[in-house]
Structure 1
Amino acid sequence: MKVTARDRLFRARPGRCPVIPPLGTPRGDSRRKRAVGGGAVIDRASPSDVAMLAMGAGASLSQRAGAVLLLDPGTGFSVAQATALVADRIRSVPRLRRRLVRVPFGGGRPVWVDDPRFDLDLHVRERTCPAPGDERALLDLAAEVLTGPLPPSRWTAVFVTGLSDGAVALIVAFDHVLADGIGGLALLAALVDPARRPAPGGFPVPPPSLRSLAADAFAERLRALGRVRGYARDAKTAMAATGGLWPEPIARCSLLRPTGPRRRFAVVRADLAAVRSAAHRHGCTVNDALLTAIIGALGRVLRRRGEHVGELSVSVPVSARPIASSSELGNRFGVLIAALPVAGLPGQRMVRIAALLAGRKKAAAEASAAGLFGPMFRVLAAFGAYRWYLRHQRRIHTLVSNVRGPGRPLTFAGATIRQMIPVAVAESGNVTVSFEVLSYAGTLTITVIADPDGVPDLDELVAGLRHELAGAAVPALPAPAT
């Protein structure tokens, strides 16, 4: 059989991409799927997606996110039947059966193409939870899944049996280039039991021709030229949200030290209504209350270590998506960075934190630094400079991501999802601890993600976080039995 140039193109290794792809625009990230005739679709990685790829190039860990779903299976639940449901439902999410491939010079950014060799067995597995089958054992297994290898389509789902109370867990993990936090929720929504879902399309869809890719890339460059005037404005907005190009170095402390490939998770839960009520008493938001508690807990740990820091710098992603949709994945978020106070009464600190963040949230949502400065990140990554910077940076002490999830309990394969625990890992350089927060069915779940060597006192940090929540009149919920 004759091998064409297009065949050679789409046999390229997944994840490879040009060093400096053409300039894009963060505000146009969602407009990257285009039909080009013959059933082919150009599904390009956005500028932010390619920046994420480059920033993870050569790292021991790529940036990954996901969730642990704890199911109440009841009678008649079957992992085999649930796996068959996953096989059926991913047909409505084309990205889950695609792989990311680079294109020749002049063809633009990498594209997602249907993988004719897609094998569900590589993506969906079953594991038995190690003894004693409690939450600690489940979280350790989740950390192992998230730090392990991913299949070509960059996602995996692991059913976990053997939990102490007979429940079944589902660990879902995906590479950040596939979806950001809000996009990840859309992926989960495509797997659970909704009333309606999009009709599946044909598979595999033929990949676009080299000619159509080149024409599309040329048209995109022309559109980018028309937006040059707005680029400077957006760059200024993005830099304002992150504290400027050359901010003052943050305080040195033990939260910053080179991290390894291992991660350990711990979970703190709180009643969402109580957090909201405590925040509203001070004219603040749930996010303000969470940051107050997290920064306070980190300050407590540092004092126990004999360190006293007046402010801690935190990085917070801000979604730029109007809605969550499984048809529009990838990355659409900005980042704000702010130095937040450690000392003072919780209510006073919350008000100060709200004031510090007020002007930056909108700016972060309007302009993505990763998309705007992606070419610079990719050049730095190509020469190994970006990884060096991550391991020596003095810009942030921690990261906090907060995503609002479903307000009512969901079901999967007829089983109620009684808990949804957010999880994530990343090549974090010298940031030893970060936090993922998700609200679900009235409960706020805070997952502490720590490098075990850099945070040997993780239990003290968890206790401090519970204490800070209690200080804001928010009772921390006990860990449910598993």
Structure 2
Amino acid sequence: MNVTGRIDRASPSDVAMLAMGAAGSLSQRAGAVLLLEPGPEFEVTRISALLAEWIRSVPRLRRRLVRVPFGGGRPVWVDDPRFDLRLHVREVKCPAPGDEPALLDVAAAVLTGPLPPSRWTALFVTGLSDGAVALIVVLDHVLADGIGGLALLAALADPAQRPAPTGFPQPPPSLPRLAADAFTERLRSIGRVRTFWRDAKTALAATGGLRPEPIARCSLLRPTGQRRTFAVVRTGLAPLRAVAHRHGCTVNDALLTVITGALSRLLERRGEHVGALSVSVPVSARRSTTSSELGNRFGVLIAALPTTGDPAHRMARITALLAGRKKQAAIASAADLFGPLFRLLAALGLYRRYLRRQRRIHTLVSNVRGPDSIPDLDELIAYLHDELAGIT
């Protein structure tokens, strides 16, 4: 971090998420699996060199989050002088039979495994049955949210979106500078006091208020461990959008209709009948960002969504239920407003206790909304294809 540059400080939502992740069984992470078509041979060292060149222009990827002395404000991201790309980029062979379920098992292990200090990892997976190579990318949520993750991929793929590389490593900001920056931020916070209660009411309304209706007990509320299993269901975006728009709904509304309906059928097979499922949905406060403005900026809505009846009718009801809450969640973030409370509860062990006994939601559904096509991501994959094809 150079002396004249901006301090890369964690946002209130970042710090709250960090505390909540530490209090739970796992930190909150985001991941992606990209399928590549290599040449006859594959050398991770060549691709690592390419990634190293790109990463020079995305400072956050070579930084670690550090706490600051008392009076210095929230934690800051600083250049890690011991950054070693070999800790972040690795290669493994997919276990037999090398099909999609086997690849997803590898992805689940990476997503729940340890992360390097910079809180991200990229794993190349060879040995797939169709000859392809997979690239699994995992980010700790405190590094970037879903929109931020797309910005990182765009910055890696598009030179026009990359800031100019800076000298590395830059010295961390001094304590006097941190204290001055924290003091300025506290002054700004005083100016926001008059809107705090209004924003707090908005954020609470988006999550159903302080005393929501008790949710139905069912097997979805059983405690979970650290093991994760992934599965893929494929459908075309165009027909899904067409159906949603025909009924005056969004793609997200259609996804929620499909997911709650599928969970309802699963519960029925278990002999359980639940007329409504309480679903938590993250709502981004921004449509886009850059690799220089990462972190988390989102609110959360919670709503009891119907599970019975004609799917089109259910989708219309879901749209009506969520219309107001989406706007409320995008306007005010509970993590931003009540971050100190979350951190206190986490430090006392009460947040972990709450997670194990909570009766507020049945499940969480998150969808990272992207454009119809993602040329930057396509270009990134094309670059990797070209590099792989050149390795013979």
Q: Same fold (TM over 0.5)?
A: yes
Equivalent in the alignment of 2:224:
259
Whole-Å Cα distance in 1 between the matches of residues 3 and 143 of structure 2? 25
**SS of equivalent residue, structure 1 residue 394:** coil
Does the alignment pair 1:380 with 2:359?
no
Gapped runs of 5+ residues in structure 1?
Answer: 1-34, 418-482
Q: Which letter maps to 2:125?
A: V
Give me the whole-angstrom Cα distance separating, in 1, the residues matched to 2:260 and 2:349.
32
> Is the alpha carbon distance of 1:38 and 1:285 closer, same or farther for their aligned partners in structure 2, counting shifts above 3 Å?
closer
Q: Does the CA contact (< 8 Å) of 2:279 and 2:365 recur in 1?
A: yes
Partner AA of 2:36 in structure 1: L
Match of 1:316 in 2: 281
* Partner residue of 2:272 out of 307, 314, 319: 307
Check whether the contact 1:74–1:415 (CA below 8 A) recurs between aligned residues.
no
1:68 aligns with 2:33: yes
For residue 408 of structure 1, report the CA deviation from its aligned partner: 4.4
Report how many residues are paired. 382
**Is residue 275 from structure 1 mapped to residue 240 from structure 2 by the alignment?**
yes
Q: Is the 8 A contact 1:79 1:159 kept in 2?
A: yes
1:414 maps to which residue?
A: 383
Aligned partner of 1:141 among 100, 106, 117: 106
**1:423 matched to which residue of 2?**
none
Give 1:433's aligned residue.
none
Which aligned pairs between 1:214-293 and structure 2 lie closer than 5 A?
214-293=179-258
2:390 alignment counterpart:
none
**Is the CA contact 1:40–1:205 (under 8 Å) kept in the aligned structure 2?**
no
Residue in structure 2 matching 1:370, options 335, 342, 345: 335
1:155 match: 120
Deviation at 1:40, TM superposition (A): 5.1
1:89 aligns with one of 49, 54, 65 = 54
| CA distance 1:135–1:193, change in 2 (3 Å) | farther
In 1, the alpha carbon distance for the partners of 2:265 and 2:385 equals: 37
Call closer, same or farther: CA 1:184–1:373 in 2, change over 3 Å.
same
Compute the displacement of 1:72 (Å).
2.1
| Partner deviation per Cα, 1:211-237 (whole Å, 9 max, x = no partner) | 111111111111100110011111111
Residues 280-359 of structure 1: pairs in structure 2 closer than 5 A: 280-359=245-324
The alpha carbon displacement at 1:198 in A equals: 2.5
Is the contact made by 2:18 and 2:142 (CA closer than 8 Å) also made in structure 1? yes
Number of the residue aligned with 2:80: 115
Letter in 2 for 1:188: L
Tell me the secondary structure at the aligned position of residue 334 of structure 1: strand
From 332, 355, 363, give the equivalent of 1:398.
Answer: 363
In structure 2, the partner of 1:38 is 3
Provide the residue aligned with 2:89 in structure 1.
124
> 1:71 touches 1:415 (CA, 8 Å); kept in 2?
yes
- Matched residue SS, 2:281: strand
Deviations 1:396-422 (A, max 9, x none): 1111111123514604363459xxxxx
Cα pair 2:65 2:76 within 8 Å, conserved: yes
Query: Structure 2, unaligned stretches of length 5 or more?
Result: 387-392
Structure with the larger strand share: 1
Q: Which has the higher helix share?
A: 2
Deviations 1:305-339 (A, max 9, x none): 00001100101111112423111111000111100
Separation in 1, partners of 2:161, 2:20: 37
SS in 1 for 2:231: strand
Report the 3-state secondary structure (helix = DSSP H, G, I; strand = E; otherwise coil) of the residue aligned with 1:315: strand
Give the structure 2 partner of residue 52 of structure 1.
17
Alignment partner, residue 480 of structure 1: none
Q: Which amino acid aligns with 2:166?
A: G
TM-score scaled to structure 1, two decimals? 0.77
CA-to-aligned-CA distance 1:58-102 (integer Å, 9 cap, x gap) = 433111111011112356764322111111111111111111111
Q: Find the residue that maps to 1:174 and give its secondary structure.
A: strand
For 1:72 and 1:241, locate their aligned partners in 2 and report how far apart those are by CA, in whole Å: 44
Tell which deviates more after alignment, 406-415 or 90-99. 406-415
Contact 2:23 2:351 in 1 (8 A): no
Question: Alignment partner of 2:101: what SS?
Answer: helix
Give per-residue Cα distances to partners, 1:163-187, cap 9 Å, x unaligned: 1111111000011100111111112
Contact 2:33 2:134 in 1 (8 A): yes
Give CA-to-partner distance per residue, 1:30-51, whole Å, 9 cap, x none: xxxxx8x734541110000000
Q: Which AA in structure 1 matches 2:343?
A: R
SS in 2 for 1:38: coil
What residue is the counterpart of 1:190 in the other structure? 155
Q: Deviations over 1:432-462 (max 9, x none)?
A: xxxxxxxxxxxxxxxxxxxxxxxxxxxxxxx
Is the contact made by 1:107 and 1:214 (CA closer than 8 Å) also made in structure 2? Answer: yes
Shift of 1:346: 0.5
Moved more, 369-378 or 78-87: 78-87
CA RMSD of aligned residues (A): 1.7
Distance 1:196 1:214 in 2: 32
CA distance in 1, matches of 2:34, 2:353: 36
Q: 1:41 to 1:207 in 2, by over 3 A?
A: farther
Change (3 A) 1:196 1:371: closer
**Structure 2 length as normaliser, TM-score?**
0.94
Task: State whether residues 144 and 296 of structure 2, in contact with CA within 8 Å, keep that contact through their aligned partners in structure 1.
Answer: yes
